[in-house]
Structure 1
């Protein structure tokens, strides 16, 4: 008995195991009993490697891809499969650029045919069926640097060079090694659910199970305006030598970051100017500008800046917040748990909103309400407003892209703008910085500064926020007139200064520890950048403070 330990698995059952048994063997027992997919394991709320050997009685929680941590691990595993398969089939490189349209966009150094996509899918499925172990390797960073220099992955070598630790964690499948900034599944056999969709002659969408479709593989839904906007920014960042973390870090260490920040600001402001110019040309028809986008996209600052640009063309916007048209709290709809659902369209007093907008467009005077979030009631304390010939309504809110919100207004009288930080930045060619992570870090910083929220409160709420976005924003991004990208290539270095101490405050016993730990790992790849270089009308100021648009 002295050589045995008791291992409790997911509070479902226990097994007796030899001292020193690796977690991978316990995972095998768990899969035999439950038939579940296993992509990771936690002990004491911390993700541990499958190679970890158990030396005492232990409680283990295995998890699949149906969680934030599990989904990230699963995506990393699929990317590793794709890299190996592309190299085996064609001796070419893969570059993962972004996550949009419910998939991961991958560029391949090869002109792709439909047959190539099928061949690639078959090769990846073969890797899955062969069930190769994915091994964690601890290596000295100098050896890792030499390896990546030998493979021509210079940006990876540069990023590892900047890591303060002397050792790094690589993962291997056979003789292939890679570095993914996250843990990995125990074997390729856990990665059987995926699909590949050809986008163009060099681009593939790697599709994986998503929460929006009950963790099935979603149908690929190409969104041309968003893809083109992202491609525009990728092209510009490539020209500027600012696609990777190591390149931004070099600008910091060479004291060139201040100039780059100005250039980046000019590029983003030019997009806003172009939208304002387009609206001014259509002002005889356009009477309502609608700004929508996911949380922490910078909609408020974008609306204020757009007003300034429009005024340079002689157009005078009247700004209205859709949030001022919430129903009285007593009439608000509730979700399945009996809690007020302020995310759904029915939470708005649509009858009153449409009546007011119609009256304004007819030239009538209207008193716009102010919603009091403390009392849960609308208040009418503002002066009446009336539209003149050079006025246009500018509405900002969660549901602005949904025509049901403005059903009394003809489509050709509306100009709809989708606002989102479509970052072109990657840590390296195989690890893109996701738009979702960018928005989450922005929100963590703003929630703490403005509302005094702890990181755990923001992380706890963010999953529900994302669920609302999937229902109420992204389905309506096809019928839009413009995309406004609010992501700065340099902003992670600025946000790191504010977010890092907040993320360190998450305790080990928190259910959000692993998420906070993962975000810290991403931030550590970027040198800190002083906020003194950030202009007072920058969208970034909406989150870090100091905006001229703050009341």
Structure 2
């Protein structure tokens, strides 16, 4: 007998019982579990004394498994209905996935979407087992070749291991670069709807307690994603295998300069927009989620404007923090420093208005060591000087209620990659930002990856509450993604991710990130320009950020 601890209850079981059998015995709803802090599929057999924590759709790791399995089953349904059609998945608006049908010999319409939805529901109703098979790498490659899945052949040739986990279901096979649910019957919750140029897939979200959010079309954000998709195809940067070919051919500098030129072009376009209305614009507000590159971006925007004879004043919103004792409390009773009320909103609004009206103002300076505000520099600006503000709440009009809308120019910045492992496995925007944060925290704060990962869920909660609701109010969206960046950050991230022990609760996340990072061919740091936004994370910036 083995002893299994579940919810402070110790059970004695026969060795070999699966997690699925145990959760059914206990009447627990679960989609995965951790066994001694290691994420496990429900098909995992228990063979020794262990502590088990079952995960439902309130847990982000369970949702990732749910979402990967949903993509698997949708790809299977498309294959069943349209054998010669390829489906490509992209992360898209409203926390959803966009599925695009390639090689379809007709226009996609609601009839096609209904047929796919019906086939998915049929597969779910059958509750077909999804079986993992450990297969020789060469065998997997030949299998993919026989089905015409050359996108999968392309990435597997960069796999170091000589084995690969293949998942089979009713003669369908696929590998989703992650864990899976034990059968199709678990996929009870999803929404499929027509959305040009394909269809939107919505699924439960952990940050919403396991429910599917209402679809919120975001035309500004959507336009940026479409441009990112077009860019990836244009330069051959939409798949890891294509990026690796740049390295193999010795064309890394060409790739880097194309990506940096895209940033320069966006900056020039933004400069044109601001310059064309500079007689009205008094406040340039910049916001974006963590690790978007706001600091470097703000500096480069200032230089862009200086080159046009526009001399902006940069002001840090962080200097307007109240003492920590006056900050609102979060659900755990701790100071919530991401809450807008943690800032002295009234003072900020008053001083921005006073500056715009030509008055001299003594700006505050927040002393983070002492945890209090002090008097800073005295400033006065001319009527042709715009103010640049950057921070989590910069787009929130509560911060600048006294300033008319037409005098504000709002910029939303975020990396929005459309890079794929293969057709069925896109790389998420969030993982890109997390890797940036891990590398930067290690480089500049000597913080190990465990600490960064530990606070990431809290960061994400703040983003959903204070940043994303305002992204559609932006006058301009700057896509800070650099298509080559993961090939540079890989070696930096590996060092700190590999240091996380297997018994750590954060090993799950670290292992997931390593699983796709390892496919990138390295690009050396010294090829990255010293004014690149990427330097904010890897070091060596000419701006000393």
8 Å contact from structure 1 (residues 277, 310) kept in 2: no
Aligned with 1:428 (options 416, 422, 428): 422
The size of the alignment, in residue pairs, is 541
Whether 1:170 aligns to 2:166 is yes
CA distance in 1, matches of 2:53, 2:180: 16
CA distance in 2, matches of 1:503, 1:32: 36
Q: Deviation per CA, 1:424-466: give whole Å up to 9, x if none.
A: 2111111111000000000011111111111111111110000
CA distance in 2, matches of 1:119, 1:13: 47
Whether 1:487 aligns to 2:481 is yes
State the Cα distance separating 1:10 from its structure 2 match: 4.6
Aligned with 2:200 (options 198, 201, 205): 205
CA distance in 2, matches of 1:326, 1:50: 47
8 Å contact from structure 1 (residues 291, 396) kept in 2: yes
8 Å contact from structure 1 (residues 139, 170) kept in 2: yes
CA distance in 2, matches of 1:339, 1:187: 41
CA distance in 2, matches of 1:20, 1:332: 52
TM-score, length-scaled by structure 1 = 0.95
Q: Deviation per CA, 1:338-367: give whole Å up to 9, x if none.
A: 211100110110110011000011011112
CA distance in 2, matches of 1:364, 1:437: 45
What is aligned with 2:399? 405
State the Cα distance separating 1:516 from its structure 2 match: 0.6
Structure 2: 5+ residue stretches without partners: none
Segment of structure 1 superposing worse, 431-440 or 115-124: 115-124
- Residues 129 and 32 of structure 1, relative CA distance in 2, 3 Å threshold: farther
Partner SS state of residue 379, structure 2: coil
Whether 1:345 aligns to 2:337 is no
State the Cα distance separating 1:117 from its structure 2 match: 2.3
Listed as ranges, the matches of 1:221-236 within 5 Å are 221-236=216-231
Whether 1:544 aligns to 2:538 is yes
Aligned with 1:161 (options 152, 157, 160): 157
CA distance in 2, matches of 1:533, 1:362: 46
Structure 1: 5+ residue stretches without partners: none
Segment of structure 1 superposing worse, 135-144 or 8-17: 8-17
CA distance in 2, matches of 1:35, 1:338: 30
What is aligned with 1:88? 80
What is aligned with 1:373? 368
Segment of structure 1 superposing worse, 289-298 or 191-200: 191-200
CA distance in 1, matches of 2:56, 2:364: 47
Aligned with 1:105 (options 98, 103, 116): 98
What is aligned with 2:495? 501
Q: Deviation per CA, 1:345-404: give whole Å up to 9, x if none.
A: 10110110011000011011112111111111111132x211213311111000111111
Partner SS state of residue 376, structure 2: coil
8 Å contact from structure 2 (residues 58, 208) kept in 1: no
Partner SS state of residue 181, structure 1: coil
CA distance in 1, matches of 2:453, 2:207: 18
What is aligned with 2:382? 388
Listed as ranges, the matches of 1:125-140 within 5 Å are 125-140=121-136
Segment of structure 1 superposing worse, 249-258 or 56-65: 56-65
Aligned with 2:24 (options 3, 7, 31): 31
What is aligned with 1:318? 313
8 Å contact from structure 1 (residues 442, 543) kept in 2: yes
Whether 1:254 aligns to 2:246 is no
Whether 1:360 aligns to 2:355 is yes
State the Cα distance separating 1:34 from its structure 2 match: 2.1
8 Å contact from structure 1 (residues 98, 424) kept in 2: yes
8 Å contact from structure 2 (residues 145, 153) kept in 1: yes
Partner SS state of residue 290, structure 2: coil
Whether 1:73 aligns to 2:101 is no
Segment of structure 1 superposing worse, 206-215 or 284-293: 206-215
What is aligned with 1:217? 212
State the Cα distance separating 1:12 from its structure 2 match: 4.1
**How large is the RMSD of aligned CA atoms in angstroms?**
1.6
- Residues 157 and 10 of structure 1, relative CA distance in 2, 3 Å threshold: farther
8 Å contact from structure 1 (residues 497, 529) kept in 2: no
CA distance in 2, matches of 1:374, 1:100: 40
- Residues 477 and 128 of structure 1, relative CA distance in 2, 3 Å threshold: same
CA distance in 1, matches of 2:49, 2:304: 65
State the Cα distance separating 1:247 from its structure 2 match: 0.6
What is aligned with 1:43? 35
